[in-house]
Structure 1
Amino acid sequence: MNVKGIEVKGIDVDENTRCKHYHKEIDIIALKFKCCDTYYPCHLCHAEVADHPPVLWGKDERGTKAILCGACGTELTIQEYMDSDSTCTSCHSSFNEGCKRHYHLYFEM
């Protein structure tokens, strides 16, 4: 699925990056996986679709644009996302606050 002109892979991905696993109104981010330089809505989609294990972004890579807002298409850096209080810094759409519980699946903590 192309979301705002950026390819997002996964299972049942919609135009706002929601997927089979996370599809509430506020589930509107995709994360770029370091291992394949590809956006997925979640770790479960990556596990189902990719043919390799995930690789975490290092603490020294937090300036990398790796978060896609499914509402406006803005790419945020990892640090911008972590500091955002679960709100897009561009369009101010709300993200799912529960995603913070999964940081360890994407980023070195």
Structure 2
Amino acid sequence: MPRALTDGSAEDSVRVGGHEVHGLPVDLETRCVHWHQPWDVVALALPCCERLHPCRECHDAVAGHEAQLWPPDRFDAEAILCGACGSPMSIERYLAADACPCCAAVFNPGCRLHRHRYFAEQPASAGAARAG
């Protein structure tokens, strides 16, 4: 049963590719109430809890703790999940991609504007990096 939150909404979780994704109503491809366009198919874990969420807003709403950013020395962590196929990938691999390397589902190009909400800084090799 979904957990009631202080704002009256309810936490939801779904299994995608065998991974639990937490947020505010999450669909089977990791879209949520905040990001729900066809290309919004990424879930991210933050190092503070390493639980997958569709977006930072979902994390902040349901996690019950302050978010931490991924430091560059941990960009090898498999903290990203493609919502289209359920394949996990490293932060480094995600930042270098425009689409899922496993199923070719295109990621939202606008996520580049929000990378500072997930990643402490960019490694030189990432160039125009992205986040959900």
Q: Which category describes the TM-score, using the shorter chain as reference length?
A: over 0.9
- The answer for unaligned runs of 5 or more in structure 1 is none
Q: Does 1:24 align with 2:63?
A: no
Q: Distance in 1 between matches of 2:105 and 2:50?
A: 25
Tell me which residue corresponds to 1:69: 82
Aligned length: 108
Q: Distance in 2 between matches of 1:11 and 1:3?
A: 15
Q: Distance in 2 between matches of 1:23 and 1:4?
A: 19
3-state SS of paired residue (1:102) = helix
Shift of 1:100: 1.0
Tell me which residue corresponds to 1:93: 105
Q: Distance in 2 between matches of 1:5 and 1:59?
A: 27
Determine which structure has more spread, i.e. the larger CA radius of gyration: 2
Q: Distance in 1 between matches of 2:19 and 2:95?
A: 21
| TM-score normalised by length of structure 1 | 0.96
RMSD over aligned Cα, in angstroms?
A: 0.7
Percent of aligned pairs with the same residue? 44
- Larger RCO (CA under 8 A, 6+ residues apart): 1
- The answer for unaligned runs of 5 or more in structure 2 is 1-13, 122-132
Alignment of 1:4-23 (within 5 A): 4-23=17-36
| TM-score normalised by length of structure 2 | 0.80
